[in-house]
Structure 1
């Protein structure tokens, strides 16, 4: 049930983390698309303003030319009536009569143009104005036929105004017709168009590099920026300089080479924050998951350690109790040989338990940096031989053998004899314990650069890849369930690793299941 809950918890946490990342990706894509749409909207508005201002500029220039010509000529315009509106309304109740008239007049300017003297006598310019007269007659008995008589109105209102809309209409049509016959280069310059586009883009907050070009019926004209290249993905267009019939001969194209970079720059700050927070969540999740897995492994190791420790202490404790009971027996206590035999058993079992406790204490002191290790220059091969002496009795009991192949020429290292002897003894004892058949151990030494290499090879059961990675962890033993055919608590190799590390050395294992193991130790030589 615990395993199922753990897997379910890991799965839910993983799905949540994946969901957060997918939401972040979706948000980024959506924001990027929204920015793209907003960019497109602003650019369309800019292009519309540019096209409108180009036409307005041309129209105002045309107005100015004509007005300057009229002002410089100084002629009195000739007035003509173009249209007259006349209306009379009488109120029978109040006897009030309203007379309204509206005259549309044109002013004609005959201006001589020297360049056209041979063909035309003058150029004709006309402007239009209206004169509106409203007269009110109170309590006078007049009829429609008497309106033209010399009567004085009670109320009189005169309004005179220019009909600029007619002027504008005529000038705009004329201007477009005239300009459509002119070359494009005479109507607008590259600098003028660049300044106009730049100003409009800045007003809309589009501050990125742009290129422009005007195409005539799909062909690029001389009005273009130096690096203009049409690219559908980054180019926007609008018709310019349309004629009176609405024909679109010219089109203005504006492209943005760094469009994507500009859009991303608007998201960069919030995106960086999002990435940082996502990474924090991933790191926290990974750390939490690692801790959960680690705690499960520690729990399994702890249970295995307790089972093994209980089993190993149970036997010597039982042996000691039996020996004590035997000694208390009146028949045995009189037999000195048997008493000494049982006392020897008690002493051996006590030493065995004491050795295990010492291993635990050694590891604890190493972790707390409290174990004082004094190093002296020593011959590594002598240390190995001492270690072999320590395990000879155990080896003889198993009818095993150790063969040495000392090939190292330089073999003086700085080490602590006692602790390093224990290192070799621990490895040799493991080699004997984990060999179900007759143990055959080989020890090699050799020099590699400024190091001495020690190889201890056995013909034991070997170990899995997983065990090789974790064999030097405290309390770790390859899981064997409730089988206790091999004694130990996973402390020996943890002690070995810490001692080798303290000597600035390295230790690792090469092994294959069923084919034995080789422990390799590297130690720095004394120069």
Structure 2
């Protein structure tokens, strides 16, 4: 897969994932807004119902008191005719005449507002009733002259009753004028208001704690719950106890301290699942993308490894071929000294290739835990000196120097001679390789608590931060284009790290481009 196609694939996958997350967030926000509007609607319905119930209860109580007063007076009301209505109808086929009359009569029991409240103004209560009468005259009519006021009807039907609508309006006007003068505490109590609110909120499924209060012209009254605090975001209100003009100085307020929690509660289940699935998708996507990037890196590393190995083998093979061609030359085959030198060259180059193959096999065995590493207590300074002696000739050949600063007082650790020596030789060899000029290397040891630190510092090319992060990865080598100025195939430091960790130690590097590198090995001491 080429780079542009890979980048396009990553872009489309990322865009799709971001789209899914945005849609999920939009859905959650929209649902939350919808729930909040529904909550507001239900609360307003509840407040409207409570206001109506309070008004109806107050009216019912007033009516009962009025009827009780009427019954207790035992007086005959004064009647006053307000209006008389007559309706005349004649059936031409049967010559039958029907006369309907309706008389509105006001009954005054002499009851005033003071009967209900001593502080009330004098408001008279008149009960308006309707007296209805239907008279049927057979065979008579007004037009034929046989009908007169003295004529007796064949059928007479009389009814009497109150005019409910007019009566109710009349009472309501007087009722509102009187109760408006009562104190708020006489009209409603904390307990009654709380029970009404609880009952109505339960009907609408609003099951969350609430606080309530009644305000008069914007000021708090004694009708309120203990924890009521006005909050613009969580408080809802409605006017109550309106007068005949539709005005009210009282406002019922209800506050829901856990409103946000309640509004969101119905979304918790589906939102949690949505977030969980989104998280799974994100993690899966991240893992897949990480695997893709790693596979791409591995592919590049393997390609680089093959190129490096090819280059590393090409020189020895070419040298061996040249040496063999030289030996076959009749002029040289008789020269034992030259033949011996060419044979030694073939042996050295073969040994070099064999060492590289061994490194690859050693790493493979380490990964499969097939490499047996027997450890025994040893003085690490001795092993370190052996490793320095091993590369000493190479350093001298390049005119360099290795300075030792062994300051550790305790040096005994549990190690495997062969592998730990290889580790130190690899690190030293690495310092020599990446010193483009004369290699100057400093080796330090020091004790830190129950550990010994081995520091190998060079003044070479150094490493960038990106290279420093990957320097211990298998097959990794810093890209230098097509140049192969540094021998190797990227296995040395990977092998070093695995051996050190198998010895329960740690290794890390410090470096800056152009200022050299320091490799630090931290090993536990034997107490």
Question: What is the rounded CA distance, in whole Å, between the counterparts of 1:456 and 1:111 in structure 2?
Answer: 114
How far the C-alpha of 1:32 sits from its partner, in A, is 2.2
Instruction: Identify the residue that residue 433 of structure 1 maps to in structure 2.
Output: 433
Distance 1:474 1:150, change over 3 A: same
How far the C-alpha of 1:332 sits from its partner, in A, is 4.0
Q: Is the 8 A contact 1:75 1:110 kept in 2?
A: no
Question: What is the rounded CA distance, in whole Å, between the counterparts of 2:96 and 2:113 in structure 1?
Answer: 54
Instruction: Identify the residue that residue 350 of structure 1 maps to in structure 2.
Output: 350
Instruction: Identify the residue that residue 120 of structure 2 maps to in structure 1.
Output: none
How far the C-alpha of 1:473 sits from its partner, in A, is 0.3
How far the C-alpha of 1:526 sits from its partner, in A, is 0.2
Question: What is the rounded CA distance, in whole Å, between the counterparts of 2:153 and 2:219 in structure 1?
Answer: 70
Question: What is the rounded CA distance, in whole Å, between the counterparts of 1:508 and 1:520 in structure 2?
Answer: 6
Question: What is the rounded CA distance, in whole Å, between the counterparts of 1:448 and 1:284 in structure 2?
Answer: 43
Question: What is the rounded CA distance, in whole Å, between the counterparts of 1:135 and 1:368 in structure 2?
Answer: 119
Question: What is the rounded CA distance, in whole Å, between the counterparts of 2:429 and 2:104 in structure 1?
Answer: 125
How far the C-alpha of 1:334 sits from its partner, in A, is 3.9
How far the C-alpha of 1:452 sits from its partner, in A, is 0.6
How far the C-alpha of 1:44 sits from its partner, in A, is 1.3
2:443 is the alignment partner of 1:446: no
Question: What is the rounded CA distance, in whole Å, between the counterparts of 2:164 and 2:516 in structure 1?
Answer: 108
1:336-356 deviations in Å (ceiling 9; x for gaps): 433333332222111111111
Question: What is the rounded CA distance, in whole Å, between the counterparts of 1:34 and 1:450 in structure 2?
Answer: 64
Of 443-452 and 428-437, deviating more is 428-437
Q: Is the 8 A contact 1:455 1:521 kept in 2?
A: yes
1:124-147 deviations in Å (ceiling 9; x for gaps): 865444343444455556647626
Distance 1:483 1:299, change over 3 A: same
Mapping of 1:354-393 within 5 angstroms? 354-393=354-393
Instruction: Identify the residue that residue 180 of structure 1 maps to in structure 2.
Output: 180
How far the C-alpha of 1:426 sits from its partner, in A, is 0.5
Of 132-141 and 163-172, deviating more is 132-141
Distance 1:436 1:101, change over 3 A: same
Mapping of 1:14-413 within 5 angstroms? 14-73=14-73, 81-107=81-107, 109=109, 127-137=127-137, 139-140=139-140, 143=143, 146=147, 148-151=149-152, 153=154, 159-413=159-413
Of 97-106 and 238-247, deviating more is 97-106
Distance 1:243 1:124, change over 3 A: closer
1:150-205 deviations in Å (ceiling 9; x for gaps): 5453x765554432333322222221111111111111111111211222122112
Q: Classify the secondary structure of the residue corresponding to 2:453.
A: strand
Distance 1:257 1:113, change over 3 A: closer
1:69-95 deviations in Å (ceiling 9; x for gaps): 334555666766543322222233443
Instruction: Identify the residue that residue 499 of structure 1 maps to in structure 2.
Output: 499
Calculate the TM-score normalised by the size of structure 2. 0.91
Q: Is the 8 A contact 2:112 2:125 kept in 1?
A: no
Q: Is the 8 A contact 1:73 1:111 kept in 2?
A: no
How far the C-alpha of 1:417 sits from its partner, in A, is 0.6
Q: Is the 8 A contact 1:413 1:524 kept in 2?
A: yes
Q: Classify the secondary structure of the residue corresponding to 1:146.
A: coil
How far the C-alpha of 1:411 sits from its partner, in A, is 0.3
Distance 1:321 1:158, change over 3 A: farther
1:388-427 deviations in Å (ceiling 9; x for gaps): 2322332232232222111111000001111000000101
Q: CA RMSD in A?
A: 2.8
Instruction: Identify the residue that residue 514 of structure 1 maps to in structure 2.
Output: 514
Question: What is the rounded CA distance, in whole Å, between the counterparts of 2:31 and 2:146 in structure 1?
Answer: 78
Q: How many residues align?
A: 521
Q: Is the 8 A contact 1:304 1:481 kept in 2?
A: no
Q: Is the 8 A contact 2:90 2:141 kept in 1?
A: no
Of 132-141 and 167-176, deviating more is 132-141
Instruction: Identify the residue that residue 421 of structure 1 maps to in structure 2.
Output: 421
Name stretches of at least 5 consecutive residues in structure 2 with no aligned partner. 117-122
Q: Is the 8 A contact 2:474 2:490 kept in 1?
A: yes
Question: What is the rounded CA distance, in whole Å, between the counterparts of 1:217 and 1:401 in structure 2?
Answer: 96
Question: What is the rounded CA distance, in whole Å, between the counterparts of 1:99 and 1:240 in structure 2?
Answer: 48
Of 330-339 and 317-326, deviating more is 330-339
Of 267-276 and 297-306, deviating more is 267-276
Calculate the TM-score normalised by the size of structure 1. 0.91
Instruction: Identify the residue that residue 524 of structure 1 maps to in structure 2.
Output: 524
How far the C-alpha of 1:330 sits from its partner, in A, is 4.5
Of 230-239 and 501-510, deviating more is 230-239
Question: What is the rounded CA distance, in whole Å, between the counterparts of 1:263 and 1:37 in structure 2?
Answer: 10
Question: What is the rounded CA distance, in whole Å, between the counterparts of 1:484 and 1:114 in structure 2?
Answer: 115
